[in-house]
């Protein structure tokens, strides 16, 4: 029995012409890839902080094993895994065959038989994956998607390559009847199907071979022009995005050349337009004019237009493109509807952060000044003048804080822990009740605490999210000076927004600005502080609440900081409390609509995000909708009234339930 192998160009003439076309296709691919990478490099290089091992681990899990694609949609995960690995194995097989033919022959005997079997399986897996994608996208429409021309072309081309490849194998087996056909089961099946074709198998083989070559080489050329380039951009973005982005000082930002950070530039090409971000976006769900997917694609178009290599040619056209602003490529106010809830980031299979792209766009629009909403501009002006976004003077909040019955650092008292009350808890009547309840909890547990009284200003979190970095930097420096003056280093707050920015943004600026005497802050959210007090035995409950409750995860303790279990531990410990979950909870929680500066924007949508959330709580038939954020409290409390649930369901903070059960 002769040794098993395969003639590469069996029944093919004009081999030189095929090599010429291949060289041209590869050249076109390299040119297209160079164009894209050159655009990436026009972004500024951020000094991201992270471990290469952690980045590599995430790249393997999310890029090669499709971990996040499987989340909430296993069929989509299997489908993409089939397409990706089927394509990769077939591509590697083609490279190995080229090496065998042109460099060093090695595909003989058992090696060739195993090679044939593996490629047969890979081709079948690719067909299954592509067919599933076509059915889900165009027949059953499993998820709301925008089906563009590019989507259909890519899927049909991949299916065409796989099917014509098997047809070629079947025709070759029919003509030659080699002894090793059992190692090509799918090819053998195609041989049986094609056996009845009129004429000679060699004639059909020649036509299909050139068709297969044309589609394959055409796809090589098309990759840099289509979303298929995400096969390179996606793992690159996953690796880069795994490291935490650095916080820039105003001085550093003024020295930057470019509109976006390099990782963000990569992310534009990592996007596959799968619509997952749009499907979880609370602003989009409420009918507001924001699509995270659409925003990223519009900014991608801006980057292409402004930084493509063709714009480097001399002339007036180049000058007009150089002056292009990102705000010119997006809808009038799209950047301001984002709540920075991070749902899009959590959902994206390839770690794109539309939230960060939107913030950079806000920074640019703040600098330009033309498209900032008037209400936002007025609030920032008040904030700059009074260090308080809610009222021009601080007399009301000062009087209210004096009535709390707690120690006041600004009055000369001393304490181990500082309770940062926050602006909204000081000025909003409903949230004042939450602050009183938390003070009652701290007092009951014997915690030595005080507040800053008249010296407490604003943390500046929403100023940061809105893109006014200069004002935020001034707020940070002012607050660090206050902390140093009163010996504050251990902070607890009822606001997730204060908690997040003091925990994450403040230390980065403290390090870069070299603020004299700035203390190292230990910041806790009140849900974590209460959980710690409970575990240490400092809280004892004597009253049954007998309530069925559900917990609304605030975005800034949940998705931004991973505090999911602490509030639930507290609720489960309350006597008589039955905790049930809404369908959307934990990392899938639905935003109330208060983050990202949205408290100063009035939505014109048909429904409010908070009303959607209140209806979800009402659907699980609870007595109390519990939250742990003053913005959530304000929005959900109002929504319960406007949606008609105020008589059947209370909206309360977790601290209020704890205080009631003491």
State the pLDDT confidence band at 1, using cuts at 50, 70 and 90: very low
Query: 404 exposed, middle or buried (CB, 10 Å; 0-12, 13-18, 19+)?
Result: middle
Mean pLDDT of the 314-343 span: 76
The DSSP code for 612 is H
Please state the separation of Cα 48 from the chain's center in Å. 17
Q: Is 318 in the same domain as 283?
A: yes
Is residue 3 one of the residues assigned to a domain? no
Average pLDDT, the chain: 90
**Helix or strand run (H / E) with residue 491:** strand 490-493
Last residue of a domain, one of 372, 395, 425: 372
Q: Which residue(s) pair with 451 in the sheet? A: 408
For residue 23, give both structure tokens. Answer: 């060289």
Q: Is 20 in the same domain as 99?
A: yes
Which range has the worst mean pLDDT, 66-80, 117-131, 170-184, 506-520? Answer: 170-184
What residues have CB less than 8 Å from 494, skipping those under 6 apart? 421, 422, 425, 431, 434, 435, 438, 525, 526, 628, 629, 630, 653, 655
With contact defined as beta carbons under 8 Å apart, do 43 and 262 qualify?
yes
Q: Is 503 in the same domain as 401?
A: yes
State the pLDDT confidence band at 564, using cuts at 50, 70 and 90: very high
pLDDT score, position 396: 65
pLDDT score, position 394: 57
**pTM of structure:** 0.91
Q: Is 358 in the same domain as 409?
A: no
Q: Is 87 in the same domain as 222?
A: yes
Q: Which of 242-256, 304-318, 395-409 is modeled with the greatest confidence? A: 242-256
Last residue of a domain, one of 209, 235, 261: 235
Work out the angle at residue 280's Cα, subtended by the Cα atoms of residues 279 and 286, and round it to the nearest 5 degrees: 85
With contact defined as beta carbons under 8 Å apart, do 59 and 255 qualify?
no
Q: Is 67 in the same domain as 160?
A: yes
Q: Is 313 in the same domain as 388?
A: no
Among positive and negative, which fits the CA dihedral 197, 198, 202, 205?
A: negative
Q: In what order do the strands lie in the sheet with 577-580?
A: 577-580, 547-551, 624-627, 650-653
Is residue 557 one of the residues assigned to a domain? yes
Q: Is 438 in the same domain as 517?
A: yes
Is residue 351 one of the residues assigned to a domain? yes
Q: Which residue(s) pair with 653 in the sheet? A: 627
State the pLDDT confidence band at 604, using cuts at 50, 70 and 90: confident
CATH number for the domain harbouring residue 121:
1.20.950.20
With contact defined as beta carbons under 8 Å apart, do 449 and 492 qualify?
yes
Is residue 5 one of the residues assigned to a domain? no
Q: Which residue has the higher pLDDT, 139 or 332?
A: 139
Q: What is the 3-state secondary structure (H, E, C) of 390-431?
A: CCCCCHHHHHHHHCCCCEEHHHCCCCCEEEECCHHHHHCHHH
Is residue 4 one of the residues assigned to a domain? no
Q: Is 319 in the same domain as 389?
A: no
CATH number for the domain harbouring residue 477:
1.20.1050
Q: How many domains does the chain have?
A: 4
Q: Is 435 in the same domain as 581?
A: no
pLDDT greater than 70 at residue 397:
no
Q: Is 225 in the same domain as 353?
A: no
CATH number for the domain harbouring residue 264:
1.10.1060
With contact defined as beta carbons under 8 Å apart, do 201 and 175 qualify?
yes
Is residue 249 one of the residues assigned to a domain? yes
Mean pLDDT of the 283-309 span: 91
Last residue of a domain, one of 533, 566, 599: 533
Is residue 364 one of the residues assigned to a domain? yes
Q: Is 360 in the same domain as 279?
A: yes
Is residue 10 one of the residues assigned to a domain? no
Task: Name the CA radius of gyration of the chain, rounded.
Answer: 30
Domain that holds residue 331: 244-372
pLDDT score, position 545: 93
Give per-residue pLDDT as tens, 167-204. Answer: 999 988 888 876 566 788 898 888 888 877 787 888 89
């Amino acid at each position: 029995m002769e040794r098993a192998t395969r003639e590469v160009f069996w029944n093919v003439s004009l081999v030189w012409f095929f090599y010429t076309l291949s060289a041209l296709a590869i050249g076109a691919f390299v040119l297209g890839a160079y164009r894209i990478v050159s655009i990436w490099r026009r972004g500024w290089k951020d000094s991201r902080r992270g471990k290469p091992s952690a980045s590599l681990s995430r790249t393997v899990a999310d890029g090669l094993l499709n971990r996040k694609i499987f989340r909430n949609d296993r069929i989509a995960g299997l489908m993409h895994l089939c397409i990706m690995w089927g394509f990769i194995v077939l591509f590697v097989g083609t490279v190995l065959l080229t090496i065998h033919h042109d460099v060093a022959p090695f595909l003989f005997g058992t090696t060739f038989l195993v090679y044939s079997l593996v490629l047969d399986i890979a081709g079948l897996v690719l067909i299954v994956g592509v067919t599933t994608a076509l059915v889900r996208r165009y027949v059953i429409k499993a998820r709301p998607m925008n089906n563009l021309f590019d989507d259909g072309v890519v899927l049909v081309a991949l299916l065409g390559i796989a099917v014509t490849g098997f047809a070629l194998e079947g025709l070759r087996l029919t003509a030659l009847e080699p002894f090793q056909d059992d190692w090509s089961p799918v090819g053998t099946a195609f041989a049986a199907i094609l056996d009845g074709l009129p004429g000679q198998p060699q004639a059909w083989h020649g036509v299909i071979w050139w068709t297969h070559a044309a589609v394959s080489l055409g796809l090589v050329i098309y990759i840099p022009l289509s979303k298929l380039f995400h096969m390179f951009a996606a793992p690159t973005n996953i690796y880069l995005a795994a490291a935490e982005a650095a916080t820039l000082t105003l001085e550093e930002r003024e020295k930057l050349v470019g509109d976006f950070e390099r990782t963000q530039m990569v992310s534009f090409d990592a996007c596959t337009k799968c619509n997952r971000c749009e499907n979880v976006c609370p602003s989009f769900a409420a009918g507001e004019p924001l699509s995270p997917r659409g925003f990223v694609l519009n900014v991608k178009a801006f980057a292409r237009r402004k930084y493509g290599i063709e714009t480097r040619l001399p002339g007036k056209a180049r000058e007009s493109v150089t002056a292009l602003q990102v705000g010119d490529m997006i809808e009038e106010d799209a950047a301001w509807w984002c709540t920075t809830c991070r749902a899009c980031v959590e959902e994206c299979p390839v770690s794109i952060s539309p939230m960060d792209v939107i913030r950079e766009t806000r920074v640019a629009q703040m600098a330009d000044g033309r498209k900032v909403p008037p209400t936002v501009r007025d609030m920032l002006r008040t904030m700059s003048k009074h260090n308080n976004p809610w009222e021009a003077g601080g007399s009301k909040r000062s009087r209210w804080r004096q009535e709390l019955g707690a120690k006041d650092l600004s009055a000369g008292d001393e304490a181990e822990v500082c309770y940062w009350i926050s602006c909204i808890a000081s000025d909003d009547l409903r949230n004042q009740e939450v602050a009183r309840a938390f003070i009652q909890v701290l007092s009951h547990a014997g915690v030595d605490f005080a507040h800053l009284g008249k010296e407490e200003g604003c943390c500046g979190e929403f100023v940061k999210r809105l893109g006014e970095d200069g004002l935020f930097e001034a707020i940070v420096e002012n607050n660090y000076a206050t902390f140093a003056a009163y010996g504050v280093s251990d902070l607890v707050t009822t606001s997730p927004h204060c908690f997040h920015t003091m925990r994450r943004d403040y230390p980065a600026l403290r390090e870069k600005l070299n603020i004299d005497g700035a203390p190292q802050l230990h910041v806790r959210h009140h849900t974590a502080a209460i959980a710690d007090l409970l575990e240490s035995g400092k809280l004892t409950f004597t009253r049954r609440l007998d309530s069925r409750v559900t917990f609304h995860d605030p975005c800034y303790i949940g998705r931004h900081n991973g505090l999911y279990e602490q509030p639930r531990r507290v609720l489960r410990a309350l006597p008589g409390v039955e905790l049930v979950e809404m369908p959307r909870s934990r990392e899938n929680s639905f935003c109330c609509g208060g983050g990202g500066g949205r408290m100063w924007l009035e939505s014109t949508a048909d429904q409010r995000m908070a009303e959607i959330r209140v209806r979800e709580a009402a659907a699980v038939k609870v007595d109390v909708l519990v939250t742990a954020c003053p913005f959530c409290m304000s929005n959900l409390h109002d929504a319960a009234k406007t949606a008609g649930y105020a008589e059947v369901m209370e909206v309360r903070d977790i601290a209020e339930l704890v205080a009631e059960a003491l």
